[in-house]
Structure 1
Amino acid sequence: MRLRTLSFAGYRSFAARSPAAPERPLQRLQLAPLTILLGKNNSGKSTVARLLHHVLLALGHDGKDPFPMDRDGHKYGGSFRDVQHGGAFFNPVDLEVELSAEDGAETTLATQLIQVSDIADDRPPLVQKCIFRGKAFAAEETPLRGLLPDVPEANSWREGARRLLKASCHIGPVRDSVQESYEVVRNKTEQRLPNSRDAIAQMLLTDVELRAAVGDWMAKHLEGWRVDVRQSLDTFKLMARRAGRESNLADAGQGIQQVLPVAVLCCWRSLGRSDASFLDIMEQPELHLHDAAHAPIGDLLLSAVADTRGNLVVETHSESLVLRVRRRIAEGRLSPDHVAMIYVEDTAEGSQLRPIPLEPNGEVEWWPEGVFSEAFVEVKAIRRAQRARGGA
């Protein structure tokens, strides 16, 4: 299954269709194989990225709560009130999704979630509206399981959402540091995902081709350093090696440690280790890295979705990463349809999504004022200061 578009209102920093603005337009996110979220701090980029998996969780849920807040210990909020815009019980959350299945079938769901009163903030929300495949379902007449009605035609979509979420990874803005050592896990029962520190270590131990791919990328773009493994019976260590030098990766700089999950996931995807559709989320893949490594990360991200089998949504502050993606389009190596670039803007009415269309020559139809212009502003200020002091 694929999630094609998500339209929403009333979720966290995004304004709601409140009683005062019942016709407020929904914010619409149309996913491409690579979707890049741009914006200033606290504009709502992470909110958008995390909402995608939250919606999949709700679509695949089998219980009575239409919008669960917890997934295997990952919390989207303490209660529904935490995700309502402004924390106000009278602000509904509106969601509309367009889905497609492996066989080409498509479906839609439009729903509105409400909290009935200020004193019910610790209870699950109620479904005020549920329109599935163009047909309205009343909650008092047709029970719901998660966001979907409990009807036979919804079962395959519910299961598809569960499979899609299970096959997807979320790399947050702060990754766990590498451990000094790991125990070898021999009782592998199902295919691992590179979605945790321990899983990544075990995959680098057992998958020689993956380890080589990650090591080659690191050696090329991180001053010759590559990741390797040193095993001793039932324990092993991840090592950083370069030209006869080696050290425990746990003692390496944060740049190498923080980019490791990004490199492993992208190489794992590009090697085709899973044939399932996926919707991966990455927040700040460039974290702690020198700017020289940011552009190569752009290529790394593109490699993960080269076969368009899945979607990768990336939240970034890196100009070099964005420019590398635009360069690949300008070179004709990438279709502009392969990339969606979204500017998340913090306005007086809440966060808003503003698509930035890309041209076949890599140019953009418009660009948000002040974004990635900081260096130019500082250079102009230096020149003004030099002139004021009698310089050249």
Structure 2
Amino acid sequence: MALSSFTVANYRSFLHPTTIELKPLTLLFGYNNSGKSALLRLLPLLADSVGEPRGAPLNLDSAAVRGAAFRDLCCQLSARRQIDFTLSWDGESGFSSVRNYQFSVLELPGPQAEVLPPVVNEFSAEYFLGQQGNAASLRGTWMPERAFPPPNRALYETWSKIQGHEETHLDSSPIAFRGIKPGSGEPLDPSLWMTVNALGMQLEPLRDEVQWLGSVRRVPHRSREFRGSAPPKLLEDGTGALEILVQDKLQGGPLLATVSAWFEKNTRQRLDVTEVAPRYYALTLGPLASPGIRVNVIDTGEGMAQVLPVLVLGAQARAQGTPSTVIVLEQPELHLHPRMHEPLADFFCEVAMQPNPPRALIETHSENFLQGLQLAIVEGRLDPAHVAVYWVQQLDDGCSTVKLITFNDMALPSYWPPDVFSEDTELSRRILKKRRQKEGR
């Protein structure tokens, strides 16, 4: 099963339900303060909230919220202290598979609202059973008068349709939540247990499948002792890139070769892992024409150090070869010269066109990155069905909206906001006008 879309309402500046469909390449464009980062960081927040044991559905210790309280996440254009979420999957897995999971998180009313954790208010899940196509669903409502004081427990009204039989009943067994993941606190009715178990099994992998890399990235360590194992994935600031590449080289994996190939093609530099002392390793770049020269990556310029974890993340997703992986990237072009944006787009086109590609959600301001994707479409290197662009805009009242943009096989967009990416032309026009004024024309 692969996460195919998510929907959120009353979150940050997104008052109304806002849906983002995840394609192999999904881009978020928009001006500053439009809501792009808030939308993108929702996925790592939810991934960090799966199985969270602290008694609150959302893990507010996640780096994705930057220390925000639940009230800070709620849209200030509404008096509601509730956020509505929907996660949707495609494909099949095992005996049963959940297609949609809807849930709301709210702040309990009362004088202690600011100190009590928010709770799951309402939720529903729909799933299908194996090859037979039988459907079942579960609906539940938070009942604080019955479940308080233990947080995250509820009584559920369930509806099921299994092999043509329908039934509706109020189940008397409370279920405990661990983050956004429901789990059985007491023995459940078999049909109810099946739904809860299927949902839990589908949510659990999100913690590892969502791989987020933020826009503020640390440079790699100058050198690092390798103690036998690397982290399974990068941290949001890029930490771990050195260790991952060291382990890959020692084990003869494909990651270092994939990342180095990009540098070789576009910078005429080869990336290597160099042992600078026993068990201490560094990442170096050296000119292809001068094999004896090796310069530490952090001494080669900010752009090379910043793009390194981006390439490592893409290479990992490429090696995993599964559509359940979700890459979440903020400004991959950061500190790169505009000439390098198209080659970076080409790298992600190659990832998107491999068999069983991952899903990528990328926030960018780069016109060259977008045009690199369009060129790949026209040249037949990228299937336009693999691409979705969302224009994110904040209206005058502070409410943010999104507009889906698709492309045909000639890379022509279905829609484009007026005057976007016209800044270069406008500046050139103003320079020319001033020149003519100075010349007395």
TM class by shorter-chain length?
0.7 to 0.9
Question: What is the aligned counterpart of 1:327 among 366, 375, 393?
Answer: 375
Identify the match of residue 284 of structure 1 among 325, 328, 331. 331
How far did residue 123 of structure 1 move?
2.4
Cα deviation code 1:131-169 (max 9, x no counterpart): 222542122314351335445212233233221331332
2:348 corresponds to which residue?
A: 301
Among 101, 113, 122, the alignment partner of 2:115 is 122
The alpha-carbon deviation at position 249 of structure 1 amounts to: 1.6
After TM superposition, give the deviation of residue 241 of structure 1 in Å: 0.9
**Does residue 38 in structure 1 map to residue 29 in structure 2?**
yes
| Contact kept in structure 2, 1:34 and 1:311, CA below 8 Å | yes
TM-score norm. by structure 1 comes to 0.88
Distance apart, 1:70 and its partner CA: 2.5
Higher Cα radius of gyration: 2
Offset of 1:384 from its aligned partner?
1.7
Tell me if the contact between 2:106 and 2:119 (Cα under 8 Å) persists in the aligned partners.
yes
Q: 2:248 aligns with which of 199, 203, 207?
A: 207
User: Which residue matches 1:260?
Assistant: 308
Residue 228 of structure 1 is aligned with which of 242, 254, 272?
272
TM-superposed CA distance for 1:219, in Å, is 2.1
Aligned positions of 1:1-392 closer than 5 A: 1-15=1-15, 25-61=16-52, 64-71=55-62, 75=65, 77-86=67-76, 90-100=80-90, 102-103=92-93, 105-115=97-107, 116-117=109-110, 119-133=112-126, 134-140=137-143, 141-142=155-156, 143-145=175-177, 146-150=179-183, 151-152=192-193, 153-186=195-228, 188=229, 192-195=232-235, 197=238, 199-208=240-249, 209-222=254-267, 224-231=268-275, 232-242=277-287, 243-244=289-290, 245-270=293-318, 272-273=319-320, 275=322, 277-306=324-353, 307-347=355-395, 348-390=397-439
- 2:339 alignment partner, SS class: helix
Question: Does the residue aligned with 2:403 lie in a helix, a strand or coil?
Answer: strand
* 8 Å contact kept, 1:178–1:250: yes
SS at match of 1:8: strand
Contact 2:384/2:408 (<8 A) preserved: yes
Number of aligned residue pairs: give it: 378
How far residue 294 of structure 1 moved from its aligned partner, in angstroms, is 0.2
Deviates more, 1:343-352 or 1:159-168: 159-168
Alignment-derived partner of residue 22 in structure 1? none
2:13–2:398 CA contact under 8 A, matched in 1: no
Aligned to 2:149: none
RMSD of the TM alignment (CA)?
2.5
Structure 1 residue 290, shift from structure 2 partner: 0.4
Residues 108 and 76 of structure 1, relative CA distance in 2, 3 Å threshold: farther
Unmatched 5+ stretches in structure 1: 16-24
- Further displaced range: 33-42 or 301-310: 301-310
- Cα offset for 1:257? 0.2
User: Could you say what secondary structure the match of 2:294 adopts?
Assistant: strand
Q: How far off is 1:117 after superposition?
A: 4.2
Query: What is the identity, as a one-letter code, of the residue corresponding to 1:384?
Result: K
Deviations along 1:240-279, whole A, 9 cap, x unmatched? 2113232222222100000000111212322x24657211
More displaced stretch, 103-112 vs 76-85: 103-112
Q: Distance in 2 between matches of 1:371 and 1:331?
A: 24
- 1:66–1:144 Cα contact (<8 Å) kept: no
Alpha-carbon distance, 1:7 to partner: 1.5
- The DSSP-based 3-state class of the residue aligned with 1:137 is strand
Q: Deviations over 1:282-302 (max 9, x none)?
A: 100000000110001111122
Contact map agreement 2:407 2:414 (CA 8 A) in 1: yes
1:196-255 deviation per Cα after TM superposition (whole angstroms, max 9, x unaligned) = 655321222232332222112112212x22321221212112112113232222222100
Tell me what 2:152 maps to. none
Give me the identity figure in percent.
28
